[in-house]
Structure 1
Amino acid sequence: MKNMEKMNENIEIPINEIEKASYKSQQLKEYENNPFIESLPPIFTEDDVLDHFMVNPRISQQDKSGEVNIRYHVLKRIKSFVQPLPIHFEVERRLSTLIRRGYLARNPLDKTFLERIRLLHELREDEKQAHKYIEDRLNYIRSTADSLSIIGISGIGKTTAIERLLLMYPQVIKHETYKNQMFNRTQITWLKIDCPYDGSLSTLCKSFFKAIDDILGTHYLEKFGYFNRITSTMLLYMTSLASLYGIGVLVIDEIQHLANSKNEQEEMLNFFVTLSNTVGVPTVLIGTSKAQQLFKGNFRQARRAASDGSIFWDRMEKDSEEWELFLETLWNIQCLKEHTELTEELETVFYEECQGITAVAVNLFILAQEQVLFDDNNVQEKITVDVLRKTSKVDLKIIQPMLKAIRNNDFKAMYKFEDLMINLDELMINHKKNITYEGRVKAAMKERLNTLEYKREDKIKNLCIELTALGIFTALNSKDIRKIVIDVVDNNPSDVKENEIKLEIIQRAMEMNQKKYNETPNKECKGRKLSLLVIRDAALKNKKHPYDYLDKNGYISNPLIEFY
């Protein structure tokens, strides 16, 4: 145990992964005096989730007027489009609670935390037999960890949502002192791994060791995961590391792969239960509809592995407000010379061809515009019903059987495509009715869009003022400066640092300023301010000090006015 703790203290963490612990006061009493909880960001609001989730790529007017081959590349920006939906808020609330409540019984200042580590160390001494009685030895230690399962069709956005939510938390936090006392510990807030395709428990353990090595620079895979190490021993070391580093939540994606392993399926499910109920680490299991077999069979016996319930993530319904807002927002990101208005007919056909599946909708929208760009017969460059149908038929040909099964509610056919099947039982259908797009969330979304536009205009205005105030771009007028600023702002993501934006604007302004000077005939320069060399020569010729001539021509500022 001492060796493991020493390893924790002296660990070298890549500088871009580490965050020094900053302890915050807690609104809830049960979260106080726990450094693992106090070092987390404050509990997020809906506005925080909106700010973090919304990715609305900008396509400027200049982009739309570019060459076809350039616009083909610009269209790929749409792939990063993310629209906040009601289910994102639900998942965020669950995840936020899972992490914090999981730490309640794992307070590193509490003696039970050290007791858990001590017992795990003792179990490792008898690593060949320990897996048989690990639960009995640790069972008396309290656990507050819950687990959550997220089940949904492929392409609906489960993994994207979880990853964006996890990134709202620092992954690694380094503690040094807490309340003026030495507290040297490394905390891993979250860890995400994929369930191996063959459902192998051994491969899962190795993925766990590698994930820790990747973020901490350790060598646990080499030390604990060598090829002839038995699985039960690796599981023991896995639980030790999870406890030692205070892992806030373990996310395991592609859980449906577990169905491919008949021999280790039950052992892995039991391990998830042990990890949650005994070691105290919350787990989130993510999978496609195929994973429902686990819930209905062995997984029902181990239902504690989903103690915080399950979220069934279905496609958006045609008449729902969430689909309406999703499509309206997506539809505005066009790269065609003529903007196509979203008519009721277009909306109907678009839904028919994507069936409310997020990934299919985004790809269909991109591919339809590509179809228009390279169609010589489409002079107007507009998205039409025929374009949508042709794009779906040709470019989405491989998934047409699946889409047809969903479109026709053909349950028999859906069973052939388990990854797309979600409405298997009444529980899921009832749950779907509960996920309505609340009016306040929709209003907040629209307000957010307006706020983004306001922030953009305010940003452009301030940058224009700053650029003009430099006084060095004498060949540029206010329209030139505004054009440069708008172009740079619109072609950079909103999260780019302001200093980088300013640098690019100044560089562009210098280039345009020089270009205008070079294009201007000499006779047009007579009315402008004389260059410094000409002023100097004129002063010397008249036996005057150059300072007087510089002052006369407006190159010398009054220091009192300048600084006060």
Structure 2
Amino acid sequence: MIHQAIYTESKINIYRNNPLIECLPVIENEADFNEAIYTKTEFPSDFWSYDSFLAMDFFSELEVAYLPHPSAWTLYRHFIQQIKSGYRSKSPTHKSGQKFINTYITHGDSVLEYAIPKRNKALAGKAKCSFAMGISGVGKSEVINTVLNCIPQVIRHREYKSVPLIMDQLVWISIDVSASNSLKGLALNFFYALDEKLGTSYASEHRSLRSPVDFYIGTIRELCAKHMIGFVHIDECQHLLKSIKSGESATLEHLESLFNRIGIPMLMTSTPEGAKLFFSDNGAASPKVQNVRRLMSERVYGFKPIQVDSQFYSAFFELFLPAELFNGSEVLTQEFKNYVHYLTFGIHAITARLLRLFFEAAHKLRLTPDVAKEGEYISLLDKVYSQHFEAISAAINNLRQNEAQEYEYLVQKESRSVSEQGRLSRTMHSSRKAAKMASKQSQIRLNGNTGDVCRDALKLGFKKDHN
């Protein structure tokens, strides 16, 4: 969706008279923000009497039910602030912004003209890179994308203060590191994302080109300047760990060169096991300090399974199994909730899927609270889990034993298996291919819990955000 620019004069002097910032609408309080993203399925009071066909419409709505994550509001405030800071010196109405555009937008057919331009000293060090990590299914990508969608993505400018300003501003963009981990694959993902939002044809123009790495870097940076991209979310960064012998694999250094050096803030997401391996240096025992500094130059966001005794878990449970429909039954007891948490380890996607399928099975059997005998709901929960979560149960068991990497492998194996059967659940992990497993030697060297990553970062002098 393209939004027409509506300008509101900034209250902050450093942002005033900057159309890239004054066109950004901002949600100013947490209550309004949570209301905007909260998605709840409203069940009729006589839902138990609905036939199975009609009931399926409600269960399909449960697939998109969403409870605001406790960190969502904090992420929103951080993203908005970083976008504004990145735009501060890039206003097309100011000399600094015009210099930025002239520096990075090049023309001509010569490959040399697309070589990496010299670093703009005015922008050096201005952009921040944050890092989010969490095991598959805890909702990190969903939370980030939900927050980003609260920020207008494409804003069309035509005139600012009676002066023509013809441009489509791409405020933020979200791309995946390709499973093959090639720089060209990353570039094509970038081009496809631009085409989808702007109606351009960059992907088709560059798909068949056999160009050097510098060409893709130069082209991406050119388009970043042309469309004034303000924030980049890079998902599935664990694929950067794949070792490809050709010299064209994407690296952390490429990402830093593509975006950070031209003043565009980044957020990178990865699994904890992937984050651990960022600390390895081609088999050396010591961390690769330069990579860690770039990776965690701003904030580190840790996403963990839901705690069983948390208020968030109670609200999450209620979202999928409304109290008014299970009033007086064992479903609302703490024992039942604890058992669900044990089966799912509190992983958001798995918990949501289990509760939805359990509710669907209970409705199909007409197992209402007034007819259900003691233990019947527990028995039904076991049957649903056994039928639909056989493969994932092994992964959960490995996770309980702190074998997170094996969990990632099994989760993605389950995802591929279900996909091949044509019934992939939207709650499963988004990776199209399984992550590459580390060698036994690497696993031994990197043995330790996921908290080691943040602790190692702190030892190196970097800050972790706990907000």
Q: TM-score, normalised by structure 1?
A: 0.66
Structure 2 CA distance, aligned partners of 1:428 and 1:122? 40
* 1:27 matched to 2:11: yes
* 1:390 matched to 2:383: yes
Partner of 2:2 in structure 1?
18
- Alpha-carbon offset, residue 391 of structure 1: 2.1
Partner of 1:326 in structure 2?
316
2:55 pairs, out of 66, 71, 80, with 71
Letter in 1 for 2:166: N
In terms of mean alpha carbon deviation, does 21-30 or 137-146 score higher?
A: 137-146
* 1:380 matched to 2:371: yes
1:211 pairs, out of 173, 193, 196, with 193
Structure 1 CA distance, aligned partners of 2:34 and 2:339? 29
Partner of 1:12 in structure 2?
none
Contact conserved, 1:102 with 1:143, CA < 8 A, in 2? Answer: no
Partner of 1:492 in structure 2?
none
SS at match of 2:71: helix
Q: How does 1:127-206 map to 2 (within 5 A)?
A: 127-128=111-112, 131=115, 134=117, 136-139=118-121, 141-142=123-124, 144-206=126-188
How many residue pairs are counted as aligned between the two chains? 414
- Alpha-carbon offset, residue 48 of structure 1: 2.5
- Alpha-carbon offset, residue 415 of structure 1: 3.4
1:425 pairs, out of 451, 458, 462, with 451
Letter in 2 for 1:250: V
Letter in 2 for 1:365: L
- In the alignment, structure 1 segments of 5+ residues that lack a partner are 1-16, 437-564
Contact conserved, 1:224 with 1:234, CA < 8 A, in 2? Answer: no
* 1:38 matched to 2:27: no
Q: How does 1:97-496 map to 2 (within 5 A)?
A: 97-121=81-105, 127-128=111-112, 131=115, 134=117, 136-139=118-121, 141-142=123-124, 144-263=126-245, 267-297=250-280, 300-302=289-291, 303-332=293-322, 341-375=331-365, 380=371, 384-407=377-400, 410-411=401-402, 413-418=403-408, 423-426=449-452
Quick one: structure 1 residues 315 and 91, their matched pair in 2 at CA, closer, same or farther if it must change by over 3 Å?
Answer: same
Partner of 2:72 in structure 1?
88
- Alpha-carbon offset, residue 362 of structure 1: 1.0
- Alpha-carbon offset, residue 201 of structure 1: 1.0
Structure 1 CA distance, aligned partners of 2:322 and 2:168? 45
Letter in 2 for 1:416: E
Higher relative contact order (CA closer than 8 Å, sequence separation 6+): 2
Quick one: structure 1 residues 109 and 137, their matched pair in 2 at CA, closer, same or farther if it must change by over 3 Å?
Answer: same
After superposition, give the CA deviation of every residue in 1:108-128 in whole Å (9 maximum; x if it has no partner): 222222222323345877634
Structure 2 CA distance, aligned partners of 1:126 and 1:141? 26
- Alpha-carbon offset, residue 150 of structure 1: 1.2
Structure 2 CA distance, aligned partners of 1:294 and 1:300? 12
- Alpha-carbon offset, residue 338 of structure 1: 8.5
- Alpha-carbon offset, residue 337 of structure 1: 10
In terms of mean alpha carbon deviation, does 288-297 or 51-60 score higher?
A: 288-297
Quick one: structure 1 residues 406 and 334, their matched pair in 2 at CA, closer, same or farther if it must change by over 3 Å?
Answer: farther
- Alpha-carbon offset, residue 346 of structure 1: 0.9
After superposition, give the CA deviation of every residue in 1:170-199 in whole Å (9 maximum; x if it has no partner): 211111221222222221111112211111
Partner of 2:35 in structure 1?
51
Contact conserved, 1:58 with 1:333, CA < 8 A, in 2? Answer: no
SS at match of 1:27: coil
Percent sequence identity is 24
Letter in 1 for 2:340: F
Letter in 2 for 1:301: Q
- Alpha-carbon offset, residue 320 of structure 1: 2.4
- In the alignment, structure 2 segments of 5+ residues that lack a partner are 282-287, 412-446, 459-463
Structure 2 CA distance, aligned partners of 1:268 and 1:23? 39
Contact conserved, 2:331 with 2:377, CA < 8 A, in 1? Answer: no
Quick one: structure 1 residues 222 and 163, their matched pair in 2 at CA, closer, same or farther if it must change by over 3 Å?
Answer: same
Structure 1 CA distance, aligned partners of 2:323 and 2:84? 38
Q: TM-score, normalised by structure 2?
A: 0.79
Contact conserved, 2:114 with 2:219, CA < 8 A, in 1? Answer: no
Letter in 1 for 2:2: I
Contact conserved, 1:147 with 1:309, CA < 8 A, in 2? Answer: yes
Partner of 2:439 in structure 1?
none
C-alpha RMSD over aligned residues: 3.2
Contact conserved, 2:48 with 2:366, CA < 8 A, in 1? Answer: no
SS at match of 2:301: strand
Structure 1 CA distance, aligned partners of 2:7 and 2:69? 31
After superposition, give the CA deviation of every residue in 1:361-419 in whole Å (9 maximum; x if it has no partner): 11111121233244488892587222223322332111111212333xx13x3332246
SS at match of 1:182: strand
Contact conserved, 1:213 with 1:220, CA < 8 A, in 2? Answer: yes
SS at match of 1:416: helix
Q: Which has the larger radius of gyration?
A: 1
Quick one: structure 1 residues 227 and 70, their matched pair in 2 at CA, closer, same or farther if it must change by over 3 Å?
Answer: same
Q: Which one has a larger percent helix, Structure 1 or Structure 2?
A: 1
SS at match of 2:83: helix
Structure 2 CA distance, aligned partners of 1:388 and 1:155? 20
Quick one: structure 1 residues 308 and 35, their matched pair in 2 at CA, closer, same or farther if it must change by over 3 Å?
Answer: same
Contact conserved, 2:396 with 2:407, CA < 8 A, in 1? Answer: no
